[in-house]
Amino acid sequence: MLPGVYAPQDDTELLAEALREVAPPPGARVLDVGTGSGALALEAARLGAEVTAVDVSRRAVWTVRLNAWLRRLPVRIRRGNLFAPVRGRTYDLILANPPYVPAPDAGRGPRGRSLAWDAGRDGRLLLDPICRDAPALLNPGGTLLVVHSALSGPDRTLELLRAAGLKAAVIRRRWIPLGPVLRSRADWLRRRGLLAPAEDREELVVIRAERPC
Ligand SMILES: C[S@@+](CC[C@H](N)C(=O)[O-])C[C@H]1O[C@@H](n2cnc3c(N)ncnc32)[C@H](O)[C@@H]1O
């Protein structure tokens, strides 16, 4: 893995569990947006899906290219912003573990390593566009799986996806200890009422949204 690329963590694992539960059939068209190391894209390819992986980071693109080559798994890899590189294509399953950590204003926005996790003051810098644009990329009967922190408004995710005509629900939850990034901004999160005074954990959620046939 190249330095600066997001190493698979609890959110990756939680989404991988949901992916295995959905079990796309061989040949299903799968998109992994914000692929990082490619862990989820490779898991889908292992299941026999036809996979496209997108990331805005050059290092991530090189990493997933190398990881796919080492494992002899076919993955189409594209660099770019969210769905821009796959305009005009549609999918049976879209996987998203985007940046979702609420962050104090950082001038010109997330840069360097923080591009993998920082997502504006409410954590929704990428979640809102994903909820807005993913539904139109799903084939009838297609599924979106998105993981994020409960600090970043799961109710808003459900509301946006339902407003787009999808059937959406939280299908997985997991409490994990606050990592170094959240610990470093815990006071700011508490001042904003996002974190209870004594709380030293965060909850991750996986949302599954289905487009009717
Ligand atoms: C939390 S990491 C998840 C990585 C991987 N999917 C996983 O589950 O381990 C988020 C990824 O989104 C990528 N990313 C950030 N902004 C993006 C954007 N606008 N378009 C595409 N990818 C983006 C980051 O480079 C990073 O690799």
Residue 108: is its pLDDT beyond 80? no
Distance CA 30, CA 138 (A): 10
Residue 62: is its pLDDT beyond 90? yes
Residue 107: is its pLDDT beyond 90? no
CA distances from 40 to 57, 103, 123, 144, 205 (A): 16, 25, 22, 13, 16
pLDDT class for 105, splitting at 50, 70, 90? confident
- Could you count the other beta carbons within 10 Å of the beta carbon of residue 3? 7
Residue 10: is its pLDDT beyond 70? yes
Residue 112: is its pLDDT beyond 80? no
- Select the more confidently predicted residue: 172 or 1: 172
Residue nearest to atom 11 of ligand 1 (CA): 34
Is 36's C-beta closer than 6 angstroms to any atom of ligand 1? Answer: yes
Q: What are the tens digits of pLDDT across the range 74-96?
A: 999 999 999 999 999 999 999 99
**Domain 10-210 architecture:** 3-Layer(aba) Sandwich (3.40)
- Could you count the other beta carbons within 10 Å of the beta carbon of residue 160? 21
What is the Å distance from ligand 1's center to 24 Cα?
22
Q: Which sequence spans correspond to the domains of the chain? A: 10-210
Residue ranges of E strands in the chain: 29-33, 50-55, 75-79, 91-96, 138-149, 167-177, 201-210
Any residues with CB less than 8 A from the CB of 11 and at least 6 apart, and which?
97, 147, 148, 204
pTM metric for this prediction: 0.96
Task: Quote the Cα angle for 106-78-19, to 5°.
Answer: 85
* Residue 37 tokens, joined: 């190391």
Q: Which atom of ligand 1 is nearest to the CA of 117?
A: 1
What is the Å distance from ligand 1's center to 192 Cα?
25
Residue 111: is its pLDDT beyond 80? no
Longest dimension (CA), the chain: 49
Window from 47-61, 107-121, 123-137, 173-187 with minimum mean pLDDT: 107-121
What is the Å distance from ligand 1's center to 82 Cα?
9
Distance CA 155, CA 161 (A): 10
Q: Are strands 138-149 and 201-210 parallel, antiparallel or unpaired?
A: antiparallel
Is 96's C-beta closer than 6 angstroms to any atom of ligand 1? Answer: no
Residue 12: is its pLDDT beyond 60? yes
Share of the chain above pLDDT 90, in %: 93
Left if phi > 0, otherwise alpha if psi is -120 to 50, otherwise beta: which for 18? Answer: alpha
